[in-house]
Chains A and B, each alone.
Chain A
Amino acid sequence: MAEEDPGAAAPPHGCPGTSSAQAGRAAACQGCPNQGLCAGPAPAPDPAIEEIKEKMKTVKHKILVLSGKGGVGKSTFSAHLAHGLAEDETKQIALLDTDICGPSIPKIMGIEGEQVHQSGSGWSPVYVEENLCVMSVGFLLSGPDDAVIWRGPKKNGMIKQFLRDVDWGEIDYLIVDTPPGTSDEHLSIVQYLSSSHIDGAVIITTPQEISLQDVRKEINFCHKVKLPIIGVVENMSGFICPKCKIESQIFPPTTGGAEKMCQNLNISLLGKVPLDPQIGKSCDQGQSFFSEIPESPATSSYRNIIQRIQEYCGLHHSQEKLSNQGME
């Protein structure tokens, strides 16, 4: 796993590197199965990147939601980040579900079974509220049992279409929910948005070491692809029994949880969200738990986290403006 090329296995001894001028021409390249590939002209960048850049000019902020493990609450977070941001009626929010094989966003947002319409300017996303729209592969399937059995390239093609061919319009925040891991979907999103500026990534984890291990990999992924990290959210962090009000650690933070990890890696911890059975219930019913359980500690924790994300985006946006003005 060489530093300069995250995807490559250990390169052969003396390899000049794929981006070197000597690529394919050095002595060490003799007999390498990739010599022809390296010696040939560098592949042209995908023209879609430029098209997506044009499309994304009307999208102010882009936030990726990532996790190492599955089932830690990524989609729940993405959906409620969207709900929370959309409470400001002057802002336009879009939520893009890039989990092609397990699209849960339509159910959580209460718009399962909706269809995407084609208009002159592209696919129209599905609107949950006037200022909140959603795009997911779930809208393109014929039913809840329909499986998307696709390998990487087809998933990448779909993600490209979502970014390029959807009629997003004027958007303040685009939230991109991803599947767990560091593979095709993540590389594609980062690559397709490489000219469009991503504000950063929010990484969701649970407190136990098994989950944190994968989060460290996710953080390394962000560093490698130069994706800024807005911060980490520790989800399912403790549970208060509704009967005796005593807190239990269902997923014990045996190594200090996300807090310790963030300290060690110098990353912000955006907050901890406790387990509340009402969260899962609200998601199953496709409702926002902000309105269902406004008094829950989970709700206030979520609100704090969302505020910190807004502040981060606002700050970086003004910094960027300043530096752009400086350049002109």
Chain B
Amino acid sequence: MLKVQDKGVHQCDSGWVPVFVDQDKSISLMSIGFLLEKPDDAVVWRGPKKNALIKQFISDVTWGDLDFLIVDTPPGTSDEHISTVESLRPYKPLGAVLVTTPQAVSIGDVRRELTFCKKTGLRVIGIVENMSGFVCPHCLECTNLFSKGGGEELARHAGVPFLGCVPLDPQLTQSLEEGRDFIQEFPKSSAFPALAHIAQQILDRTSPQGS
């Protein structure tokens, strides 16, 4: 998605060097994708090996001075999540952003994820409703492909902030496929203001004054 799939990770004296996404080195990235010989190699690992790698990603990567570390996780409430929360605990993580789609089947799993956050003492920064409606590019009719409003309702029900909805946008998918910078290239897309609004809310809610 960030167009760095062919890059490799280098080893230096103080650890693994993350891959830089842009010239200014403002975004650095670490992923197991960089450690595979071939992009289609499957990582058929049980929990303990995954946990060991997550711990290495947090302790052995030369992250340097960062303002924010964003951790993308797989679905569920299992090894990866427990290990991430445990490894980050000494660094006092700001909290979790929960992403759902609007339909009840998806909301059902996020309810369990909220319980995970509560049990592990992880603050919930808020809930994002993704794939929320699709505006037909031909007639501008909006269809709620995966229903609507489920994320907001869940946030109210659980008493956590609702950060906003992101509509389905083929331009966003396309730009991720090609690893382009969506925010630079599609400022007029409907998903753009939605994403910008959510990012601003996360900044506000996690700034020292806000929290």
Contact = CB atoms under 8 A, between A and B. Distances in A.
A183 interface: yes
27 contacts: A71-B75, A100-B78, A101-B75, A102-B109, A108-B105, A145-B115, A146-B115, A148-B112, A149-B81, A149-B116, A150-B78, A153-B47, A179-B76, A183-B46, A183-B47, A210-B176, A217-B40, A217-B42, A217-B43, A244-B138, A254-B174, A275-B145, A277-B147, A280-B103, A280-B146, A281-B147, A284-B147
Interface in A208-253: 208-210, 213, 216-221, 224-225, 239, 241-244, 246, 248-252
Contacts of B48: 152
Given A181-B74, A216-B40, A239-B134, A145 B46 contact: no
Contacts of B187: none
Contacts of B31: none
A292 interface: no
Contacts of B74: 70, 180-181
B136 A244 contact: yes
Main SS class of interface, A: loop
Interface string B146-181: 110000000000000000000010100110111000
Contacts of A144: 108, 111-112
B139 A243 contact: yes
Interface string A186-228: 1100000000000000000000111001001111110011000
Contacts of A322: none
A245 to B, nearest CB: 9
Interface residues of B, number: 57
Interface string B45-74: 111111100000000000000000000001
Contacts of A99: 76
Interface of B: 1, 36-37, 39-51, 74-79, 81-82, 101, 103-106, 108-109, 111-116, 119-120, 134, 136-139, 141, 143-147, 168, 170, 173-174, 176-178
A1 interface: yes
A209 B175 CA distance: 11
Given A187-B44, A221-B44, A239-B145, A70 B136 contact: no
Nearest to A79: B105
A248 B174 CA distance: 13
A183 to B, nearest CB: 6
Nearest to A251: B173
A248 B45 contact: no
A6 interface: yes
